């Protein structure tokens, strides 16, 4: 049995929540390995909607182990709130079904405050951050001044970490005219939250090793998408972590040789939340129709998503960078009823043509899509669970996408419901 990594191949919001939940039925453990509570995964199970931001999608299934790896940045207050929300929906989260890596970096109130200060002070186009402190927490992690989960059980060690952290942040705050952090209140708040989160702490790397040796099936759940990767995305309009599949190893504490199959979640069209370049964006009635039919609003922020035609060049790039071996194509039903469907097969830039997404921000903004037109279909694909239920033109559309992105379609999602899925290749049987 293979261990599977699930990553987004666009700008996030590809429908990873449903696919991960669908796959978790076959997995023994689900692992989050990057990002924070800026991620948003929506699951619809037997008509009940669950909105997750930090917890792995496997948490809604009994008998499954959920792990939060060291590559995640953890807001302990957001975690406790999310656990409480799930409890109201009948989902119990305990140390038996959730473990958090001891060396996970914490997001503190000072991080979200700094996030907001920077965004408000930005001149011109803003990054579009969720203001949840994700970026500043990663900065402190790399700067070796972060407070980690394990620090909460050591008063003396916590005091030393706070000295390093606040020495830096208070200098930044002074530069913006903000008052210093109230250290006494921060310590009080941390001591209050500690007993609520420390019971979940453990050596995630060790748990993963034991499960691997026992032949358990492991599902690694990514957040956001490749084009939001801090290195490979539309910098600076990116998230603050690595969203490529390789991060699954480093962000959870397992060797890359244990990552057997990479599944790229890909929407049948393209969306983006927030600022940044978007070559195939549609600001006309078609773009509005895609947004309305696809219910394109951010799970975390509630912000409306920008919509456009499928960008095969961008997805092909994500396939190569993340080593994607199969695609889960989502929201195919949103394209029902269009007379013509366009696919971006290249770009023009200053009179020349490009077959890849360039790294330079100025070039990204200047790209003009080259489209291929494909015939649409009038029949409904919603709820289809087999190839034979799909209209002929829908099948042609899927096959053309496969050719352009150079990766096979492994799964097709035709509605938010878990079982409305066409399985072509089971990633766990690779």
Annotated catalytic residues are 13, 41
Q: Two tokens at 353?
A: 């043509």
Per DSSP, the residues of 337-369 read T-SEEEEEEEEEETTEEESS--S-HHHHHH-EE
Please check whether residue 290 is in contact with residue 272, taking contact to mean a CB–CB distance below 8 angstroms.
no
CA separation for the pair 389, 166 (Å, rounded): 60
Give the integer Cα–Cα distance in Å for 332 and 411.
11
Q: Which helix (H) or strand (E) holds 266?
A: strand 261-267
Q: Report how far residue 229's alpha carbon sits from residue 251's, in angstroms, rounded to the nearest whole number.
A: 14
Pairing of strands 340-349, 368-375: antiparallel
Q: Cα separation of 336 and 186, whole Å?
A: 52
Q: Compute the CA torsion angle 281, 286, 289, 294 (nearest 10 deg).
A: -40
Asked if 32 and 67 count as a contact pair (C-beta separation under 8 A), the reply is yes
Rg (CA), the chain: 22
The pair of three-digit structure tokens given for residue 296, joined into one six-digit string: 């394109």
**DSSP assignment letter at 89:** T
Distance (Å, whole) CA 246 – CA 111: 27
Distance CA 43, CA 430 (A): 25
Cα–Cα distance measured from residue 13 to residue 278, given in angstroms and rounded to the nearest whole number: 15
């Amino acid at each position: 049995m293979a261990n599977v990594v699930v990553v987004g191949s666009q700008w996030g919001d590809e429908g990873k929540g449903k696919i991960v939940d669908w796959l978790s039925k076959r997995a023994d453990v689900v692992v989050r390995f990057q990002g924070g509570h800026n991620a948003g995964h929506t699951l619809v199970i037997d008509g009940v909607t669950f909105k997750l931001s930090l917890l792995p999608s496997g948490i809604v299934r009994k008998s499954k182990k959920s792990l939060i790896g060291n590559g995640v940045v953890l807001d302990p207050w957001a975690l406790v709130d999310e656990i409480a929300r799930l409890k109201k929906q009948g989902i119990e989260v305990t140390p038996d079904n959730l473990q958090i890596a001891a060396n996970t970096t914490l997001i503190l109130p000072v991080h979200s405050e700094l996030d907001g200060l920077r965004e408000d002070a930005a001149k011109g186009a803003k990054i579009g951050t969720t203001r949840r402190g994700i970026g500043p927490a990663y900065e402190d992690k790399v700067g070796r001044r972060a407070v980690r989960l394990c620090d909460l059980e050591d008063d003396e060690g916590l005091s030393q970490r706070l000295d390093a952290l606040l020495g830096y942040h208070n200098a930044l705050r002074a530069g913006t005219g903000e008052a210093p952090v109230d250290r006494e209140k921060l310590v009080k708040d941390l001591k209050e939250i500690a007993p609520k989160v420390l019971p979940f702490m453990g050596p995630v790397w060790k748990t993963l090793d034991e499960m691997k040796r026992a032949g358990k099936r492991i599902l690694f759940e990514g957040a956001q998408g490749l084009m939001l990767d801090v290195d490979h995305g539309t910098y600076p309009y990116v998230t603050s972590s690595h969203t490529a599949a390789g991060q699954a190893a480093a962000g959870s504490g397992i060797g890359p040789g244990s990552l057997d199959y990479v599944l790229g979640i890909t929407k049948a069209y393209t969306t983006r939340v927030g600022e940044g370049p978007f070559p195939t964006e549609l600001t006309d009635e078609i773009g509005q129709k895609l947004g309305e039919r696809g219910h394109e609003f951010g799970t975390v922020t509630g912000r409306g998503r920008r919509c456009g035609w499928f960008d095969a060049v961008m997805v092909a790039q994500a396939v190569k960078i993340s080593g994607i071996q199969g695609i889960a194509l989502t929201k195919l039903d949103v394209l029902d009823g269009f007379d013509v469907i366009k696919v971006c097969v290249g770009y023009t830039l200053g009179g020349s043509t490009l077959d890849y997404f360039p790294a330079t921000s100025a070039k990204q903004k200047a790209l003009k899509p080259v489209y291929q037109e494909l015939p649409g279909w009038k029949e409904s694909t919603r709820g289809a669970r087999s190839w034979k239920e799909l209209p002929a033109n829908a099948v042609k559309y899927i096959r053309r996408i496969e050719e352009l992105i150079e990766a096979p379609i492994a799964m097709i999602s035709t509605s938010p419901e878990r079982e409305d899925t066409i399985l072509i290749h089971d990633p766990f049987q690779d």
